[in-house]
Structure 1
C-alpha cells in the first residue's frame, strides 16, 4: 500500500472561474432580482452572504454567466452551495485523473467517456453542472430525499446543455453504492459532500456561528439552508465517511478513484485506519484553504498503479478519436 500523500493548496484552483471580485453589474443584468440585495461596501459591490435568498440569486447569476444555464432554482430551506468551492473539488479530481496516467501526460481526460458518481447530488445538482460544463463528463447523481430528487431532475431537464450529461437516480436512505452502481457499470470517480453534523441541534448552532462570522468578516458564502439529511446524520461525518469507505470495498473494481470531502481534520486518522483495514492500494488527502475555511478531499483506489495507468490510457485514447 502506498503511504498517504498530502497536498496543500492556498486560494482557488488555477482553473477556477471564480477568482477575483464578482461582476455585479453583469450579474444584475442576468438576474434582475439580485439588484435589491447588492450594496456598496467601501467602494466594492457585495451582498449579505448570510442571506440565503441573496446567495441563491447570486448563484443563478454565476451559473448563467459562466456555465450558460437557462434555469436553476432550489426549494426553500435546501442547501445553498458556495459555487467557487464546489468548483475546486471538480478541478482537483480532474487533476487526479490527469496525474493517474503514466509520466509525461499533461492532458485531463474529458468527454462523456468519463463517468462520475455524485453521492447525494442534492436539490442544487451543483457538482454535475460544473463537471459536465467544464470537462464534458457524464454524471450519475444519487439522492435519497424525494424533493431534492425531483428538483435536481427539473434542473437537468430544463437545461439542454446538461440534459445529455446528467442522470439522477433515487437511492435508499441506508445505502451508498448499493442499488446505484450496477454490476456492469464502471466509474472513473465517485465524489461526495457528506453531512457533517451528528444532530440537528449541532447543525443549527454551527449555522448561527457561520452567520455571525460572515457578518463580522464579510467573507465568501458558506452553506446556508439545508434540510436534515444534507447537514447531519447519526454519527456525523465520521460515521458517514466510514460507511462510504467500507461500502467502497464491495465495488473496488467498479470505480477508479473514490473521493469525499472531509471537514474535520481530526477524523482523518480514523479514515486512514479504515482504509488500511480494507487494503486499498493507495490513498491521500488534498487540502484546500479558502479565506477562513479549510476543506479536505480524501481519495483512495483499490487498483494497482499499472491498472490505474491502463484504465486512464484507454480513456485518453477514446478522447483522441
Structure 2
C-alpha cells in the first residue's frame, strides 16, 4: 500500500468496536490468534466500513442500499493517496477540485478525498438509486456538505458531457470502471475466489455487493476506458489530469496506443494491496 495509507497496519478492532458497537458480533479470533471478520459476509464488511469511516474519517452517518457495492476502504484510500502524488507531479497546488466518475451509492472516493486532503469533490453516476444514496451520505454528515456535490448522469452515451459544466475546471478526474463485461463473468470471478479460499459454490455471493453498473457493462473495462479516453479529449481544456484504475494489465497496450494517437502524455502508477495488483493510468493533454 501507499506509505501514507493509514491502513498499512492491521485493523484496530478494539478501537473500531468502541466507536461502532454493531461491529462486535462479527469479530472473532482466527487460528493465528488475530482478531478478524469473515470478509465473505456482506453484513460484516458493511459494519467494518461504518466503523472505519467513524474512527478514521469523521463520518458518523453512512449507509448503502441493499445489494449495492460496499467498497473496501483501504484500497480506495490508496487511489486517493496516489492521486495526491500525481497532482504534485503535475504541479497542482491547493485548493484542489476533483471529479469521481461512477461515484456509486457508497460515495467513498469523494468522502476520502475531502477528509484526507480537504479536496472539493464532485461525484457522478448514471444510476438514480446510487445518486440518491450518495447524496444522502453527504447530507447526513455536516462536514461533507460543503465539500462534496453529487450529480446525475442522465445520458448513458456520455461520461463527462452533461456532468462537467461549461467553463468549469477540475484538477483531476478519477474512475474505478466496471471490471466485468456481464453478470455471468462477474459470478465466474467470484467462483474462482471461493475456490481459491476452499469455499463451496453454494456460498456464491459478491461479498462487497454491487449492481450491474458498478461491476459490469457491455464490453467490460476495456471498452469503457476507450470511451473515457475518447471523450476526455473534448474536455482537455477543463481538466488538468485524467486518471483511471486499470484492473486488467492486458488492457494497457491498446489504451496506450489510443492515448498516443490522441497526442496525450501518460504514465502508469502501479498499485499493490496484498496479493492484488492493479495500476492507475494517468494522462493529460499538453498545451
| TM-score, normalised relative to structure 1 | 0.84
Confirm or deny that 1:43 pairs with 2:27: no
Query: Residue 121 of structure 2 aligns with which residue?
Result: 139
- State the 1:290 CA deviation: 1.2
Q: 1:98 aligns with which of 85, 88, 100?
A: 88
Whole-angstrom CA distance in 1 between matches of 2:163 and 2:232: 12
Query: Residue 168 of structure 1 aligns with which residue?
Result: 150
Q: How many residues align?
A: 279
The answer to whether the 8 A contact 1:187-1:254 is kept is yes
Confirm or deny that 1:75 pairs with 2:65: yes
Whole-angstrom CA distance in 2 between matches of 1:178 and 1:196: 22
CA distances 1:255-289 after superposition (whole Å, capped 9, x unpaired): 00000000000000010011112111x10111111
Higher relative contact order (CA 8 A, sep 6+): 1
Query: Residue 32 of structure 1 aligns with which residue?
Result: 21
- State the 1:83 CA deviation: 0.6
Matches of residues 216-255 of structure 1 in structure 2 within 5 Å? 224-255=208-239
Matches of residues 64-213 of structure 1 in structure 2 within 5 Å? 64-101=54-91, 109-110=93-94, 113-171=95-153, 172-213=155-196
SS of the residue aligned with 2:98?
Answer: strand
SS of the residue aligned with 1:18?
Answer: helix
The answer to whether the 8 A contact 1:82-1:223 is kept is no
Confirm or deny that 1:19 pairs with 2:1: no
Whole-angstrom CA distance in 2 between matches of 1:23 and 1:153: 29
Misfit runs of 4+, over 4 Å: none
- State the 1:214 CA deviation: 4.9
- 206-215 or 291-300: bigger deviation: 206-215
Whole-angstrom CA distance in 2 between matches of 1:148 and 1:155: 11
The answer to whether the 8 A contact 1:78-1:123 is kept is yes
Superposition CA RMSD, Å: 1.4
Whole-angstrom CA distance in 2 between matches of 1:68 and 1:214: 34
- State the 1:293 CA deviation: 0.5
Whole-angstrom CA distance in 2 between matches of 1:37 and 1:142: 33
- State the 1:185 CA deviation: 0.4
SS of the residue aligned with 1:197?
Answer: coil
Whole-angstrom CA distance in 2 between matches of 1:213 and 1:164: 44
Q: 1:52 aligns with which of 34, 42, 45?
A: 42
Cα distance, 1:123–1:117 mapped onto 2, change above 3 Å:
same
Structure 1's unaligned 5+ residue stretches are 1-11, 102-107, 217-221, 305-321
Whole-angstrom CA distance in 2 between matches of 1:213 and 1:30: 34
SS of the residue aligned with 1:77?
Answer: coil
Cα distance, 1:63–1:214 mapped onto 2, change above 3 Å:
farther
- State the 1:212 CA deviation: 4.0
SS of the residue aligned with 1:149?
Answer: helix
Structure 2's unaligned 5+ residue stretches are 200-205
The answer to whether the 8 A contact 2:39-2:207 is kept is no
CA distances 1:215-240 after superposition (whole Å, capped 9, x unpaired): 67xxxxx9721000100001000000
